[in-house]
Structure formats: C-alpha cells, structure tokens
C-alpha cells in the first residue's frame, strides 16, 4: 500500500458517487470492497460519506440532489483532477469550448472546486486542495486504480485535455485504439472511442478500483445486486478487468492489475 500525502497537479485526485439511495449504496460498496465509512450531516437533510480504506480516504458518497434526480441525471461517479487554481482552470476550459456546470466554490476549508464538461459532453470536476488533498490510498485492493474516458470525439478530446491540463498523449498497443494521458512521467488516465457495439452511451470519465481477484469480485457484486456490463476480460500487460453497474445504476470498473516488474 502507498499512502499519498500530496497530489500531483494534473492527476486525478478524487472520485465521488452521486446516488439515488445513499444508504443502499453505502451497504453495497462497503460490503463489496471492505470500505469503512464516515458519514457526516451537511445540513438540509443532506449527508456526505467519506469512504475509508485502512485509515485513508478513497472517495466520497452522497445522495443526488432533488433537482438533478428530477432532471433524469443517473447515479454516477464523478472524477476530480487536481489543479492549482479552480478559477483559472474553469475559465480556461470555457475558452477551449468546454462548459462550466458548477462555478468554482469553496467546500468549507477542504478546498475549492468546480464541475466542468468537455466539448464532447464528458463531465469531470477540478479540485484546488486546501485541508483535504483527496484520495490518500493507492496500490491496494479497494483503492482507485485508473480513470478512463469513453468519448465519441477522440481527437477533439485529446486537444481539449492536453491544452487544459498540459497533458501529453501517446497511443497504447492493444486490441483496439487506446490513448494514454500523462503529466510529466506520471500516467494520468486513458481514453478510447465509444464503439457501436457499446450501444447508446454518453461520453464520460469512469473509475477503476483495484481488486485482488476480478472474477470473485464480479460474483460478489452480482450477489449484492450489481449488473455485469462488461464481463471479465484480460488485457495483455495490463490485467483482468470488468465493468459493473451498482444497484442504483452507477457504472464503475474493477481491475486485477498485472504486477509491475521491480
């Protein structure tokens, strides 16, 4: 296990579930991944749950607000990128053709954030840390392991994110075209095109969680009420992965990564 004390600017630093049933989602994920939880009242009948692993934070969970639910927004995981200035990054996203869905605002003394949407329609958030850096656990089953963009505009998305965050991009050899994003030497995430075989799908950033056994996790998730969207498959040199949907309809992926050579 590696404990993170400082996030690299330009990397994904947090993942957060917005769900229609926060109590049900807490039961599902704590049972599936062995997460602990710290739920606090936020006022107005709302709560926010910090999801814990080995004493560290792996993500957040909250009930979707009524307006979003009535508008038909599905349950979803929202992924955050660490930035030095939420205000400057939001302004830059606009100039690049993105949208600011939630203007920059302070989350008490934890940090400052905004919710953005790229020109192809994928939603993500940015996080300017103050007292909370975001995810503090990596490299352990149950921790976030990867973030991946599915889009219907690969070249446009590549141009947007490389300009917005200063990422570089490179092709990854595999069974289908795939792009790796980097900031410096650090891998940030991946990108692939939405194919006709995937059916109707909105562009979006998805999160992967590390597991010790992909097949056993799939069986356990199904027993807890999840739907298997993409069955377990092996990616040479990467690992064994699958995509699932929790009982409230939020999609997420799991991966048993191939050990990296020492």
Q: Does domain 2-129 have CATH number 3.40.50.800?
A: no
Q: Characterize 194-215 residue by residue with b for buried, 16 or more Cβ atoms within 10 angstroms of its Cβ, and e for exposed.
A: beeeeeeeebbbbbbbbbeebe
Determine contact, residues 203/122, Cβ cutoff 8 Å. Answer: yes
What are the backbone dihedrals phi and psi of residue 258, each rounded to the nearest 5 degrees, phi first? -70, 130
Q: In the prediction, which pLDDT does 197 show?
A: 82
Q: Is 222 left (phi over 0), alpha (psi -120 to 50) or beta?
A: alpha
Angle 82-138-229 from CA coordinates, rounded to 5°: 90
Q: In the prediction, which pLDDT does 227 show?
A: 97
**Global pTM value:** 0.94
List C-alpha distances in Å: 92 to 41, 58, 156: 34, 28, 16
DSSP state of 198: G
Structure tokens at 39: 């739920």
Q: Provide the 10 A C-beta neighbour count for residue 35.
A: 21
So where are the chain's domains?
2-129, 139-257
Domain pair 2-129 / 139-257, same fold: yes
Q: Where are the beta strands (DSSP E) in 29-98?
A: 36-43, 46-53, 56-63, 76-82
Q: In the prediction, which pLDDT does 262 show?
A: 47
Q: In the prediction, which pLDDT does 1 show?
A: 53
Of 245, 205, 254, the C-alpha closest to 12 is 205
* Rounded Cα gap, residues 116 and 193, in angstroms: 20
Q: Report the percentage of the chain scoring pLDDT > 90.
A: 80
Q: In the prediction, which pLDDT does 42 show?
A: 78
Question: Across residues 14-27, what is the average pLDDT?
Answer: 96
More confident residue, 174 or 247: 247
Q: Provide the 10 A C-beta neighbour count for residue 131.
A: 9
What are the backbone dihedrals phi and psi of residue 43, each rounded to the nearest 5 degrees, phi first? 95, 155
- pLDDT tens, position by position, 118-151: 999 999 999 999 999 999 998 899 999 999 999 9
Average pLDDT, the chain: 93
* Rounded Cα gap, residues 162 and 254, in angstroms: 26
- pLDDT tens, position by position, 37-68: 999 887 777 889 999 998 899 999 999 987 87
Question: Across residues 153-161, what is the average pLDDT?
Answer: 98
Give bridge partners of residue 159 from the DSSP assignment: none
Question: Across residues 92-109, what is the average pLDDT?
Answer: 97
The CATH number of the domain covering residues in 139-257:
3.10.180.10
Determine contact, residues 137/57, Cβ cutoff 8 Å. Answer: yes
Question: Across residues 173-178, what is the average pLDDT?
Answer: 82
């Amino acid at each position: 296990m590696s404990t993170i004390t400082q996030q690299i600017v330009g990397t994904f630093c947090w993942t957060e579930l917005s769900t229609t049933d926060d109590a049900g989602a807490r039961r599902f994920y704590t049972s599936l991944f062995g997460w602990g939880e710290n739920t606090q009242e936020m006022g107005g009948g709302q709560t926010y749950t910090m999801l814990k692993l080995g004493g560290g934070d792996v993500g957040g969970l909250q009930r979707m607000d009524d307006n979003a639910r009535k508008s038909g927004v599905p349950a979803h995981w929202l992924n955050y990128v660490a930035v030095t200035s939420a205000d400057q990054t939001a302004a830059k996203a606009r100039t690049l053709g993105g949208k600011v869905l939630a203007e920059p605002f302070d989350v008490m003394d934890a940090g400052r954030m905004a919710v953005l949407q790229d020109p192809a329609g994928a939603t993500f958030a940015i996080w300017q840390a103050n007292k909370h850096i975001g995810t503090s656990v990596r490299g352990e089953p149950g921790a976030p392991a990867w973030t991946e963009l599915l889009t219907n505009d690969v070249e446009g998305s590549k141009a947007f994110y490389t300009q917005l965050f200063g990422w570089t991009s490179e092709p990854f050899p595999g069974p289908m075209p795939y792009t790796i994003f980097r900031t410096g030497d650090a891998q940030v995430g991946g990108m692939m095109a939405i194919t006709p075989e995937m059916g109707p799908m909105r562009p979006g950033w998805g999160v992967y969680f590390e597991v010790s056994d992909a097949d056993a996790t799939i069986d356990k998730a199904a027993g807890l009420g999840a739907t298997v969207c993409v069955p377990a498959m092996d990616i040479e040199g990467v690992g064994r992965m699958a995509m699932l949907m929790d009982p409230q309809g939020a999609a997420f992926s799991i991966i048993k990564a191939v050990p990296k050579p020492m």
